[in-house]
Amino acid sequence: MQTRLTLATLLAVVTVVSLFSVCVIAARGDDSSKPGGANLTAELAKATDKLAPVYALAYKFAPGEQFRTKVVHMATVETKIKGVAQKTDSRTLSTRLWRIKQVTSQGEIVFENVIERVEMWNSVEGRKELKYDSAVDKEPQPEFQQVAASIGKVLATVTINRHGRILSRQDAQRQFNPGIGELTIPFPETPVKAGASWSIPDEVRVKLEDGTIKKVQIQQKYRLEKVESGVATIVLETQVLTPVNEPQVQVELVQRLQRGTIKFDVDAGRLIHKQLDMDQSVFGFSGADSHMQYLARFTEEPVKDGQTASATAGEAKR
């Protein structure tokens, strides 16, 4: 009777053979520093890589779903110009809602982007603190009126493919961005192994003092660090590709130079946690003795249906 080998059996056989080969090498006393040993070590590494699992990173939603996240953005900016120092602290806590309107047979996802609630705080050294809570303050101060006008309304209708690439975006009104960071995570179009990297190019346009525009090419580089228990850990870093020597340009880039980590549920197809950190210093942007230090953190994580970020507002204030 003919026996059919299952994939699991085949992998087990290959693994046993590989381990046996290693034992034979050790018993013979082969040294990987020798040409033959190095070749065999390289072949074993290739075999191990071929057996490594691949992961399809993609969003998974159904029409009618609502996906809420708590977005926290905290920043501290310290400047010194002509001997005068100033410190500014700010904190924004918001609830972002994706209302899933349609999912096509090709996996394209159409959703409405809404900010349901926002709490903002701003402190400039030597001035009165400013606060705004969209659920409490009926008459916002002038500084927050634009934000107040956007709360609870559809900011944009967005279409993405299943890998998070934005295909179209129809802005319904002037955007309020409750922090930094992209709306979606752009994943590779094909399954990848742990250790794989991919990059997303972008361009920043900076207006110079003489009125001209300098185009700076950057890219967000992502790396799938590991996948454990169905949770993918992805690290990201912004890389500046265009040489930038002018402090006036460098100071415009500080909010774009991010490092961070993303946790993504591969099976459920949605974000678990995202954290971006910024720590940049620029000298000479407004005179030889001028200096700016920019520190910021952006986090995003899901909240339960019907719950707003204010329920955990204490975390952002600590």
Residue 127 is assigned to a structural domain of this protein: yes
111 and 179 together in one domain: yes
179 and 268 together in one domain: yes
Secondary structure letter of residue 254 according to DSSP? G
Residue 15 is assigned to a structural domain of this protein: yes
Residue 57 is assigned to a structural domain of this protein: no
CA 70 to chain centroid, in Å, comes to 14
Residue pLDDT, tens place only, 118-139: 999 999 988 999 999 999 998 8
Q: What CA–CA distance (Å, rounded) separates 57 from 234? A: 11
Residue 169 is assigned to a structural domain of this protein: yes
37 and 176 together in one domain: no
Secondary structure letter of residue 104 according to DSSP? -
Residue 203 is assigned to a structural domain of this protein: yes
Q: What CA–CA distance (Å, rounded) separates 180 from 260? A: 12
Residue with more model confidence, 121 or 2: 121
Q: How does residue 35 score in pLDDT terms, banded at 50, 70 and 90?
A: low
pLDDT exceeds cutoff 80 at 42: no
- Which residues are within 8 A (CB) of 37 and not within 5 positions of it... i.e. 6 or more apart? 25, 30, 31
Domain that holds residue 22: 7-51
Residue 221 belongs to what H/E stretch?
Answer: strand 213-228
39 and 174 together in one domain: no
Residue 163 is assigned to a structural domain of this protein: yes
Residue 59 is assigned to a structural domain of this protein: no
Residue pLDDT, tens place only, 290-317: 999 999 999 999 997 656 555 444 444 4
Predicted confidence at residue 304, as pLDDT, reads 77
240 and 313 together in one domain: yes
170 and 202 together in one domain: yes
Residue pLDDT, tens place only, 82-94: 999 999 999 999 9
The residues with which 18 forms a beta bridge, in sequence order, are none
96 and 178 together in one domain: yes
Residue 60 is assigned to a structural domain of this protein: no
92 and 119 together in one domain: yes
24 and 151 together in one domain: no
Q: What CA–CA distance (Å, rounded) separates 12 from 34? A: 29
Beta carbons within 10 angstroms of residue 161's beta carbon = 19
86 and 27 together in one domain: no
Task: Using alpha carbons, list the distances in angstroms from residue 102 to 63, 156, 167.
Answer: 5, 15, 14
Model pTM score? 0.80
Q: What is the CATH number of the domain that holds 118?
A: 2.30.230
Do the Cβ atoms of 294 and 255 come closer than 8 Å? yes
**Which residue, among 78, 178, 182, has the nearest Cα to 132 in the 3D structure?**
178
**Which residue, among 230, 233, 229, has the nearest Cα to 194 in the 3D structure?**
233
Q: How many domains does the chain have?
A: 2
31 and 107 together in one domain: no
22 and 91 together in one domain: no
Residue pLDDT, tens place only, 151-200: 999 999 999 999 999 999 998 866 554 445 578 999 999 999 999 999 99
Phi, psi of 46 (to 5 degrees): -65, -40
